[in-house]
Amino acid sequence: MTDLKTTVFHALHAEFGAKMVPFAGYDMPVQYKLGVMGEHLHTRTKAGLFDVSHMGQVLLKPKSGKVEDAALALERLVPVDILGLKEGRQRYALFTNDAGGIMDDLMVANRGDHLFVVVNAACKDADIAHMTAHLSDTCDVVPVTDRSLVALQGPEAERALAALNPAVAEMKFMDVATVTFGKAVCWVSRSGYSGEDGYEISVPDQFAVQLVTDLWKQGGVEPIGLGARDSLRLEAGLCLYGNDLDPTTSPVEANLTWAIQNARRAGGAREGGFPGAARILRELAEGPSRLRVGLLPEGRAPMRSDVQLFAAEDAAEPVGHVTSGAFGPSIQAPMAMGYVATSHAATGTRLWGEVRGKRMPVVVSDMPFRPSTYKR
């Protein structure tokens, strides 16, 4: 484990009693003294602070000086309307491959004269290489190597962050802004991956520990590890790349069609033109053979990743499988998501999951499992 990377918060994690685990090549906190359930519930009721510095931060700087040129270039790699993204706003996007599968999911922000992209930790080297290979004719692809990334999530996130600069209170969901906290000039988005209102803050490394220390001084803010981050995102019905999304799965199968704006669809102003467009546009028109759905197991036992799903208790062939599963502390019940044949994907459909050789009932459910609380 000696080759694991660390973030600038590594000493703080130890100070706050973190249990550390390898994750995406980094030594990361899986939980602190509150434990996974305590951290989950604290984020839902107060405010949780997450170290997400392992994720990739990248600037796309158009060589022409026009952000529209960077947007059009990036549209060659994603089935998303980037040109229509206004300055000071952020949008969810997906890198697709030639087969129509998902290479990664990411966030893209329009910062006026350039685009700011945040990608998943496990994919960042491949994503940076992908962008460099395909966008360098139009953009300078600049990995950000001197900034940390933290997420402040929960109903008291606004109060805690606004105590350091009241300007953040005016931001709405998916707004982005440059905000100064003390000496730190930060790039802030009102977003996150917990289903709660909150912020993600890109802070210069030299000021990162001070910012986190100042936030903890506000009261009601606790450090949160990867364990609770996973249960929070699952309650919110949000995908984890590598579990719920992969290079063989299309955005339509993944039930992420809301992320494909009309401009990129058939008949749109910039129809297609992204990798895998033939498959993705066909599935938008005709429907996919399978869909990502929410799943609520009956009883108290969670159904974890790779559990096979059957249409009947005695059926021989599976109709799907679980990709993520856990116990939901907020809903006080097990929850899961997975892929099932479209013919069995309707809400309320009863299926059977095979857990340790025994078939257990599970019901197809709408997501999120708990309503999200974004500030619109």
* Residues 74, 116: Cα–Cα separation, whole Å: 11
Residue 2: the pLDDT is 67
- DSSP element (H, E) containing 223: strand 221-223
Average pLDDT over every residue of 268-285: 98
CATH of the domain at 48: 3.30.1360.120
Q: pLDDT tens digits for 123-151?
A: 999 999 999 999 999 999 999 999 999 99
CA nearest neighbour of 283 among 308, 301, 256: 256
Say if residues 315 and 223 touch (Cβ distance below 8 Å). Answer: no
Return all residues near 120 (Cβ < 8 A) that are at least 6 apart: 24, 55, 56, 104, 105, 106, 127, 241, 242
Domain boundaries, position 180: 10-54+146-235
Q: Please name the residue ranges forming H helices in the chain.
A: 10-15, 35-45, 67-74, 124-135, 157-162, 205-216, 226-235, 277-286
Count of domains for the chain? 2
pLDDT of residue 123: 97
pLDDT band at 72 (very low <50, low <70, confident <90, very high): very high
Let me know whether 315 and 195 are in one domain.
no
pLDDT class for 373, splitting at 50, 70, 90? very high
Domain C-terminal end among 220, 235, 250: 235
The confidence score (pLDDT) of residue 57 equals 98
CATH assignment at residue 311:
2.40.30.110
pLDDT digits (tens, 9 = 90+) for 301-316: 899 999 999 999 999 9
CA separation for the pair 244, 250 (Å, rounded)? 11
Distance from the Cα of residue 351 to its chain's centroid: 28
Reported as a single tens digit per residue, the pLDDT across 173-198 is 999 999 999 999 999 999 999 999 99
% the chain with pLDDT above 70 = 99
Q: 165: which 2 tokens? A: 């600069």
- The number of beta carbons lying within 10 Å of the beta carbon of residue 166 is 10
This prediction has a pTM of 0.96
